[in-house]
């Protein structure tokens, strides 16, 4: 009778624990959909998005626009408009036009991508608009140009018909790519993006568990090709006095500068935000039982194997734990293990490829 009573009490305890866990998960899920809760819980991320958007605007306004590189991503549309009407100062409205173009994508993917991503992406876009207007103020704009591109290439004139210092196109494209790639990586690492085609890339990245840089590279190259065609059509409609201008600008240095920008920015994003890169940890410890207890305590979300081993030098017998985790999780897991056993030996090896399901919920 006593054994039966204890058994029933144990079952009731497990049921209560299960209900409590479900309740917490439901509350967390609800919080993730509440815009104000997201903003409240992501204060540091929002600050980093403020920095990210500033770096992005500097990269576009000071370097890519100056170099006249062919447009990539959704930003192709406002940039094409700006290049098509050089006599009108439309540069200050770049971010505003881009934000408007993002609205259809937000509507399409609203229910397909987690809410916090969209909220933070919208915040990033609003920051971008503010920075764009601030940097468009003549005093600030002239100061930045004079102390950046103005000093690097004082005689460089960024227009399709007056490109003289062709080396500057490559230099400006490279610097712009570094700034933009770095800014986008900051945004992605803080749960947001720069909007536009980043939203599409994020969708395919999370669905197929691949690096965001891969779909971004494909999309950017495709849109650049379309942009070349449109720019050639515009050049034909408004002929350049120089008969070699179209060939020089759209199939020469500008195209080369654009390809350089796409490759550098995508590669930098992939290096700084390797979201789905997998790492194999091999753990050797005399306190392996404590490490296994740690895994149970944190509800460790990846599979792992335990093997018997014998040291070739010491002839001591022990256990080896092997597990595959994401690169972004390495420091967290490694630090937790070292707290349990400061003398632990951990081997870290990159996994080139894997097949099968893999839990990536901790980095989503």
The answer to whether the beta carbons of residues 73 and 221 sit under 8 Å apart is: no
Asked if the model's pLDDT at residue 335 lies above 50, the reply is: yes
Compute the mean pLDDT over every residue in the chain, rounded to the nearest whole number. 78
* pLDDT value at residue 11: 43
Residue 158 has φ and ψ, to the nearest 5°, of -85, 85
Where do the domains of the chain lie, and which CATH numbers do they carry? Answer: 32-272 (no CATH), 278-363 (3.30.70.120)
Mean pLDDT of 77-89: 70
Higher pLDDT, 338 or 65: 338
CA distance 276 to 354: 11
C-alpha–C-alpha distance, residues 169 and 66, integer Å: 8
pLDDT of 293 above 50: yes
* Interval 36-61: pLDDT, tens: 888 888 899 999 999 999 999 999 88
d(CA 139, CA 326): 47
pLDDT score for 2: 54
Residue 316 vs residue 3, higher pLDDT:
316
Is residue 15 predicted with pLDDT exceeding 50? no
Distances (CA, A) of 275 to 27, 206, 217, 299: 26, 9, 16, 21
Specify the 3-state DSSP secondary structure of 170: helix
Helix residue spans in the chain (DSSP H): 2-33, 35-41, 43-58, 65-67, 76-84, 94-109, 115-135, 138-147, 149-152, 166-189, 197-208, 213-237, 245-250, 253-272, 288-297, 330-340
Q: How confident is the model at residue 234, as a pLDDT?
A: 66
CA 80 to chain CA centroid, nearest Å: 25
Phi-psi bin for 282: left (phi > 0), alpha (psi -120 to 50), beta? beta
Q: How do residues 94-140 score in pLDDT, each as one tens digit?
A: 777 777 888 888 888 888 888 888 899 999 989 998 998 899 898 99
Overall average pLDDT of the 308-312 stretch: 81
Tokens of 202: 């994020």
pTM of the model: 0.70
In the prediction, which pLDDT does 48 show? 95
Does 81 score more than 80 pLDDT?
no
Over the stretch 152-172, which tens digit does the pLDDT of each residue have? Answer: 766 654 444 444 567 777 888
Alpha-carbon gap, residue 178 to 308, rounded angstroms: 48
Residue found by looking up tokens 């408007």 in the block: 100
> Is residue 12's pLDDT more than 70?
no
Average of per-residue pLDDT across 69-97: 71
169-173, 248-252, 357-361: range with lowest mean pLDDT: 248-252
Indicate the pLDDT class of residue 236, thresholds 50, 70 and 90.
low
Nearest to 341 by CA among 271, 282, 284, 272: 284
């Amino acid at each position: 009778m006593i054994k039966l009573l204890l058994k029933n009490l144990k079952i009731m305890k497990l049921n209560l624990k299960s209900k409590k866990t479900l309740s917490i998960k439901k509350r967390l899920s609800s919080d993730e959909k509440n815009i104000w809760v997201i903003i409240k819980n992501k204060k540091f991320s929002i600050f980093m998005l403020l920095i990210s958007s500033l770096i992005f605007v500097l990269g576009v306004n000071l370097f890519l626009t100056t170099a006249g590189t062919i447009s990539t991503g959704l930003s192709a549309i406002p940039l094409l408009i700006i290049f098509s009407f050089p006599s009108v100062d439309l540069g200050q409205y770049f971010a505003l036009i881009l934000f408007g173009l993002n609205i259809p994508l937000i509507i399409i993917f609203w229910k397909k991508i987690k809410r916090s991503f969209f909220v933070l992406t919208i915040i990033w876009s609003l920051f971008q608009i503010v920075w764009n207007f601030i940097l468009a103020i003549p005093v600030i704009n002239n100061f930045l140009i004079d102390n950046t591109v103005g000093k690097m290439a004082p005689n460089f004139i960024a227009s399709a018909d007056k490109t003289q210092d062709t080396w500057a196109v490559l230099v400006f494209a490279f610097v712009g790519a570094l700034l933009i790639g770095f800014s986008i990586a900051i945004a992605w690492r803080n749960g947001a993006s720069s909007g536009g085609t980043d939203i599409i890339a994020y969708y395919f990245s999370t669905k197929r568990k691949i690096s965001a840089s891969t779909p971004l590279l494909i999309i950017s190259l495709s849109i650049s090709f379309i942009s070349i065609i449109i720019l050639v059509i515009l050049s034909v409609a408004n002929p350049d006095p120089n008969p070699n201008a179209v060939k020089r600008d759209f199939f020469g240095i500008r195209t080369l500068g654009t390809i350089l920008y796409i490759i550098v920015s995508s590669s930098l994003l992939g290096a700084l935000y390797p979201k789905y890169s997998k790492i194999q940890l091999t753990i050797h410890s005399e306190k392996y039982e404590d490490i296994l207890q740690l895994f149970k305590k944190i509800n460790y979300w990846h599979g792992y194997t335990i093997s018997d081993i014998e040291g070739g030098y010491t002839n001591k017998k022990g256990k080896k734990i092997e597990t595959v985790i994401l690169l972004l999780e390495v420091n967290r897991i490694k630090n937790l293990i070292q707290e349990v056993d400061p003398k632990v030996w951990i081997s870290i090896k990159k996994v080139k490829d894997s097949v099968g399901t893999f839990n990536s919920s901790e980095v989503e």
